[in-house]
């Protein structure tokens, strides 16, 4: 019976890869990715409210998002490679169950200690999003892989964008615990839908866990395309993170004197990048992902550099320029990421989860470095120094992509 089932599942995956994915399956993957990654951000707008209710200091409550992001980074490195060793459907459903339980614990936490522990587990389990994207790449036909990955990434990016808005509204109307309960319920429904709607995925390696992690270094050494994609995305992430980590502080000071709400509104610019992700995927399919990576880096560099014109403008024009620049570099960043995923997933179909883990680990290292460098240069030299840092990182990312294209032509 198991052999018949296995043959049936292989035929189902083969048919999907040959004929294209049903829209309902792509929608399931996109929603699942969005709900998973949204769990990382629900707590952020609620920190002040929940801290007062459970009697925790602002410093202690500040560790909630820190541990969530730390758990996510560790999960990408330590758990995402398991997608090549085991059935991805089982991994996705198992992580959904753990994430649901962790959200329930967070919603019922009587004190900061249990909330912090739950936050770490939420970050670890939310890495199911990094199992869903390689699953979409595996199911998609090669000629439409960029488009499908772009559509799933749209769901993921919209999850990030809308999570803070939703949690702020729910917490204000019904309390912060209600938001965690609602999130848990949504993950329970998603897990059930994934169990019924996703096909099984055959493992592509039999490596034990230690060898699986060690193979990350092997893949890094073996594939120049992986190294270039990771390096370029990490470099662009430095500027991306430096901007967003210092924006609120800059807007709070002279000459703007705006509150945190204004800085949060800038996040809506991310909607442009989220909605443009399928377009970037289609361009990668039709024009080649290499060209899209260079276009994305160039757009980000120009958008960052344009912010240097702000001191010459009046206050309203400066804000308009910041919004336009944020939209531009977000489009460039997301377009480059989609193209890099298309490149990386095509390197070795049997190692997509591990390749994805390497790419996103590099990206998060760049994000962390950008936050630290952005805070440092802003404190020392002001906002224009952040603009120079961001522009320089984008130019370096473009240089990596241009150099890779030149090297291939010479070869």
| Structure confidence by residue, pLDDT tens digits, 343-394 | 998 899 889 989 989 998 888 888 878 878 888 898 899 999 999 999 999 9
**For position 161, what pLDDT does the model report?**
76
305: which residues sit within 8 A by CB, 6+ positions away?
Answer: 387, 391
Q: In this structure, what token pair is assigned to residue 272? A: 């442009």
Whose tokens are 């000071």? That residue is 253
The yes-or-no verdict on residue 18 having pLDDT over 60 is: no
199 φ/ψ sector (left φ>0, alpha ψ -120 to 50, else beta): beta
Say how far apart CA 124 and CA 91 lie, in whole Å. Answer: 12
| Mean pLDDT over each residue of the chain, to the nearest integer | 85
124 neighbors 74 (Cβ within 8 angstroms):
yes
Q: What is the DSSP string of 263-302?
A: HHHHGGGHHHHHHHHHHHHHHHHHH-HHHHHHHHHHHHHH
**For position 169, what pLDDT does the model report?**
81
Report percent pLDDT > 90 for the chain: 45
Say how far apart CA 39 and CA 42 lie, in whole Å. Answer: 6
pLDDT: which is higher, 211 or 161: 211
Helix axes 176-197, 145-174, angle to 10 degrees: 150
246: which residues sit within 8 A by CB, 6+ positions away?
Answer: 374, 375, 378, 383, 386
What distance lies between CA 177 and its chain's CA centroid?
A: 25
| Structure confidence by residue, pLDDT tens digits, 213-272 | 999 999 999 999 999 999 999 999 999 888 876 776 787 777 887 755 566 566 666 666
Say how far apart CA 377 and CA 22 lie, in whole Å. Answer: 48
Q: Is 76 exposed, middle or buried (CB count within 10 Å of its CB: 0-12, 13-18, 19+)?
A: buried
Say how far apart CA 97 and CA 122 lie, in whole Å. Answer: 11
**For position 54, what pLDDT does the model report?**
86
DSSP tag of 62: T
| Structure confidence by residue, pLDDT tens digits, 49-104 | 788 888 887 678 777 877 887 888 889 989 999 999 999 999 999 999 999 999 99
- Among 160, 150, 165, which residue's Cα sits nearest to residue 35? 160
**For position 137, what pLDDT does the model report?**
86
Give the pTM: 0.78
Once rounded to an integer, what is the mean pLDDT over residues 309-336? Answer: 89
**For position 6, what pLDDT does the model report?**
46
N-to-C CA span, the chain: 51
The yes-or-no verdict on residue 149 having pLDDT over 80 is: yes
pLDDT grade, residue 124 (50/70/90)?
Answer: very high
**For position 2, what pLDDT does the model report?**
38
Examine residue 255 and say whether the peptide bond preceding it is cis (omega within 30 degrees of 0).
yes
Domains and CATH numbers, the chain: 2-203 (1.20.1250.20), 215-410 (1.20.1250.20)
The yes-or-no verdict on residue 276 having pLDDT over 80 is: no
Once rounded to an integer, what is the mean pLDDT over residues 169-183? Answer: 89
Angle in degrees, CA 303, 276, 296, rounded to 5: 40
Whose tokens are 């209600």? That residue is 178
| Structure confidence by residue, pLDDT tens digits, 188-201 | 999 999 999 999 99
Q: In this structure, what token pair is assigned to residue 291? A: 């060209």
The yes-or-no verdict on residue 41 having pLDDT over 90 is: no
**For position 248, what pLDDT does the model report?**
66
Say how far apart CA 54 and CA 60 lie, in whole Å. Answer: 11
Angle in degrees, CA 126, 127, 132, rounded to 5: 110
Say how far apart CA 314 and CA 304 lie, in whole Å. Answer: 19
The yes-or-no verdict on residue 4 having pLDDT over 50 is: no
pLDDT grade, residue 8 (50/70/90)?
Answer: very low
pLDDT grade, residue 126 (50/70/90)?
Answer: very high
**For position 262, what pLDDT does the model report?**
61
């Amino acid at each position: 019976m198991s052999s018949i089932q296995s043959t049936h599942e292989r035929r189902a995956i083969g048919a999907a890869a040959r004929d294209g994915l049903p829209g309902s399956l792509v929608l399931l993957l996109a929603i699942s990715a969005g709900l998973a990654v949204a769990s990382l951000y629900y707590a952020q707008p609620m920190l002040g409210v929940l801290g007062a209710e459970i009697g925790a200091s602002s410093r202690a409550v500040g560790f909630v998002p820190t541990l969530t992001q730390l758990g996510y980074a560790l999960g990408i490195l330590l758990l995402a490679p398991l997608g090549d060793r085991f059935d991805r459907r089982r991994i996705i459903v198992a992580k959904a169950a753990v994430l649901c339980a962790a959200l329930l614990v967070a919603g019922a936490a009587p004190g900061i200690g249990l909330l912090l522990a739950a936050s770490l587990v939420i970050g670890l389990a939310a890495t199911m999003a990094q199992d869903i994207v390689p699953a979409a790449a595996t199911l998609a036909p090669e000629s439409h892989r960029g488009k499908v990955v772009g559509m799933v990434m749209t769901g993921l990016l919209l999850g990030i964008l809308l999570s803070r808005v939703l949690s702020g509204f729910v917490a204000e109307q019904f309390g912060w615990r209600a938001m965690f309960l609602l999130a848990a319920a949504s993950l329970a429904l998603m897990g059930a839908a994934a169990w019924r709607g996703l096909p099984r995925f055959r493992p592509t390696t039999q490596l034990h866990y230690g060898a699986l992690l060690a193979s990350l270094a092997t893949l890094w050494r073996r594939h120049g395309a992986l190294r270039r994609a990771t390096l370029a995305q990490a470099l662009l992430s430095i500027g991306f993170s430096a901007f967003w980590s210092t924006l609120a502080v800059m807007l709070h000071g002279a000459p703007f004197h705006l509150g945190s709400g204004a800085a949060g509104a800038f996040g809506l610019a991310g909607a442009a990048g989220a909605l443009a992700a399928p377009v970037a995927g289609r361009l990668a399919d039709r024009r080649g992902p290499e060209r899209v990576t260079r276009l994305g880096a160039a757009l980000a560099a120009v958008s960052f550099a344009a912010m240097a014109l702000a001191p010459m403008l009046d206050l309203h024009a400066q804000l308009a320029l910041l919004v336009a620049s944020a939209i531009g570099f977000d489009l460039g960043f997301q377009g480059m990421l989609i193209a890099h995923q298309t490149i990386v997933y095509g390197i070795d179909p049997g190692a997509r989860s591990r390749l994805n883990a390497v790419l996103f680990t590099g990206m998060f290292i760049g994000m962390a470095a950008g936050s630290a460098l952005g805070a440092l240069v802003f404190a020392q030299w002001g906002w224009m120094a952040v603009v120079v840092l961001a522009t320089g990182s984008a130019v370096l990312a473009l240089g990596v992509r241009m150099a890779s294209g030149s090297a291939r032509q010479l070869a």
